[in-house]
Amino acid sequence: MASLKDLKTRINSVKSTQKITAAMKMVAAAKLRRAQEAAESGRPYADRMRGLIANLAAKADPSSAPALLVGNGKSASHLLVVISADRGLCGGFNGSITRQTRAEVTRLTSEGKTVKLLMVGRKSADSLRREFGDRYIASLEGIQGTSVAFSDAADLGETIRSGFENGDFDICTMIYNKFVNAITQEVKLTQLIPAEVADAGDGEAGGNYDYEPEEDELLASLLPRIISTQIYSALLESSAAELAARMTAMDNATRNAGEMIDRLTLVFNRTRQAAITNELIEIISGAEAL
Amino acid sequence: MAETTQLELVTPARVMAQKSVQMVVAPGVEGLFGVLPRHAPLLADLARGIVEVHEDGKVTDRFMIDGGLADVSSESVTILAERAIDLGTADAATLKVQAAAANEAEAAFLKAVIEAL
């Protein structure tokens, strides 16, 4: 049985852990408010961009439209853009991304496709490196988290676009956590190239567009921008989701630590009582013997 | 009541404007164009310039945008701009302070806004 001193040490160490998790929770909560605002206010723009490109893709003529919009007609090689966090201690956040990625890679490989990975964020990159490290085309860190810059998303978009034009891959899909609310994140797969086509029901926009300037010229400047916008919005969502996950995880950890302290304190008090009782018995029986 | 078209002006940061208007004049890369209700579907690249909103025959709002995209259908105009400023509420002094702190592209845009005020 643990001595009183051991128990005391144990309680103190759990208490300091609790202080740390409580502080991390507060920090995450404070940052979350800003990240959540950024993610939510960015949604209308991203949604409209997505709607627009879905419409364009639905109307585009596969033979003449740019490959970024309708694909290059092949599907032999896939690029997965995986967005996780740079830091851990955020519950199932990185785990669910890793799991989804592994399932997706396995599925595509079993269909005989080549899979390449572009990892954003350190955590999933680290946990998948041993399995799929040879498939990484790049592993980026530090572009998401508390502040997301559009220029980073634009650079990433540019990397993806030039890779596509060089024929490195035919289809590009993004895997990220979407922020739903402070306690829920949802793993989303979004296809970047070729563009996801609008549902048949959405065709009411009707008729073909007039373009100004010419169609090719306009699409050439528009499509890269749309890809960057989608990446940017995914980074914002993922950052907000990460902070929310961390806040929830740390809240749980703080509560668990509290429970543990209560339990240990109970054991500590019982042990102290037992020691006192023991001493009393010794004294009394000593006195009786006389 | 005259026919209206639904205007939406959206930037990555927020929805700047959302209302029914009679006419919108937008700065296309090939020149200004006006959009009335029942306009033919049009997708236009926009240059840096001023979006004018007309209601009851008058200009009611002016927004400076730094290039963007207009998606016009028969009953709506959606303008997607990476940067936009409402000229009705903008204030030259604050913008000058912002321009001093901003990067090159943004500062150039803010300068254009100050000139337009």
Closest to A94 measured CA to CA, from A190, A185, A192: A185
Q: What is the pLDDT of residues B54-65, one digit of tens each?
A: 988 888 999 999
- Assess B11–A contact: CB distance below 8 Å, yes or no: yes
Instruction: Say yes or no for a CB contact (<8 Å) between A211 and B28.
Output: no
Structure tokens at A74: 């092949």
Instruction: Say yes or no for a CB contact (<8 Å) between A205 and B33.
Output: no
**Residue partners of A116: CB distance under 8 A and separation at least 6:** A77, A78, A79, A80, A135, A136, A137, A168, A169
Instruction: Say yes or no for a CB contact (<8 Å) between B43 and A210.
Output: yes
Q: Where in the sequence numbering do the catalytic residues of A fall?
A: 90
Structure tokens at A154: 């634009």
Structure tokens at A205: 């926009």
> B97-103 long-range contacts, Cβ below 8 Å, gap at least 24?
none
Q: Output the pLDDT for position B32.
A: 92
State the smallest CA–CA distance between residue A218 and chain B in angstroms: 7
Q: What is the pLDDT of residues A73-123, one digit of tens each?
A: 788 899 999 999 998 889 889 999 999 999 999 999 999 999 999 999 999
Distance CA A82, CA A98 (A): 9
Tell which of B6, B9, B32, B69 to mutate to test the A interface (max A CBs under 10 Å): B69
- Assess B75–A contact: CB distance below 8 Å, yes or no: no
Cite the DSSP H helix spans in chain A.
Answer: 4-59, 67-70, 93-110, 122-132, 150-165, 215-289
Distance CA B16, CA B109 (A): 17
Of A70 and A258, the one with more pLDDT: A258
- Rounded to two decimals, what is the model's pTM? 0.84
Distance CA A103, CA A99 (A): 6
Structure tokens at A228: 């960057």
- Kindly identify which residue of chain A lies nearest to residue B14, measuring between CA atoms: A41
Size of chain A, expressed as the number of residues it contains? 290
pLDDT band at A203 (very low <50, low <70, confident <90, very high): very low
- Kindly identify which residue of chain B lies nearest to residue A41, measuring between CA atoms: B14
Instruction: Say yes or no for a CB contact (<8 Å) between A207 and B71.
Output: no
Structure tokens at A83: 């967005």
Question: Using an 8 Å Cβ cutoff, are A186 and A178 in contact?
Answer: yes
pLDDT band at A1 (very low <50, low <70, confident <90, very high): low
**Residue partners of A72: CB distance under 8 A and separation at least 6:** A164, A167, A170
- Assess A222–B contact: CB distance below 8 Å, yes or no: yes
For residue A218, the chain B residues in CB contact (below 8 A) are 43-45
- Kindly identify which residue of chain B lies nearest to residue A221, measuring between CA atoms: B45
- Assess A194–B contact: CB distance below 8 Å, yes or no: no
Tell me the C-alpha to C-alpha distance, in Å, between residue B22 and each of B14, B38, B57.
Answer: 23, 11, 8
Distance CA A191, CA A193 (A): 6
State the smallest CA–CA distance between residue B2 and chain A in angstroms: 23
For residue B29, the chain A residues in CB contact (below 8 A) are 212-213
A50, amino acid identity: R
Q: What is the pLDDT of residues A223-269, one digit of tens each?
A: 888 888 889 889 999 999 999 999 999 999 999 999 999 999 999 99
Q: A156-177 burial by CB neighbour count: b if 16+ within 10 A, else e?
A: bbeebbebbeeeebbbbbbbbb
Question: Using an 8 Å Cβ cutoff, are A97 and A187 in contact?
Answer: yes
- Assess A41–B contact: CB distance below 8 Å, yes or no: yes
Q: Which residues pair with A114 in a beta bridge?
A: A77
Closest to B43 measured CA to CA, from A82, A181, A222, A241: A222
Residue A279 neighbours by CB distance under 10 Å: 10
Closest to A119 measured CA to CA, from A91, A93, A149, A98: A98
- Give me the interface pTM, i.e. the ipTM: 0.83
Question: Using an 8 Å Cβ cutoff, are A27 and A247 in contact?
Answer: no
Closest to A83 measured CA to CA, from A35, A118, A34: A118
- Residue A89's region, left for phi above 0, alpha for psi from -120 to 50, else beta, is left
Per-residue pLDDT of chain B (117 residues; tens, 9 = 90+): 578 999 999 988 888 899 999 999 999 998 999 999 999 988 899 999 999 999 888 889 999 998 888 999 888 999 999 888 998 888 888 888 888 888 887 888 888 888 887
State the smallest CA–CA distance between residue B72 and chain A in angstroms: 9
Helix, strand, or coil (residue B49): strand
Tell which of B7, B9, B33, B71 to mutate to test the A interface (max A CBs under 10 Å): B71
**Residue partners of A230: CB distance under 8 A and separation at least 6:** A46, A49, A50, A174, A190, A192
- Assess A205–B contact: CB distance below 8 Å, yes or no: yes
Instruction: Say yes or no for a CB contact (<8 Å) between A207 and B15.
Output: no
- For residue A209, the 8-state DSSP code is P
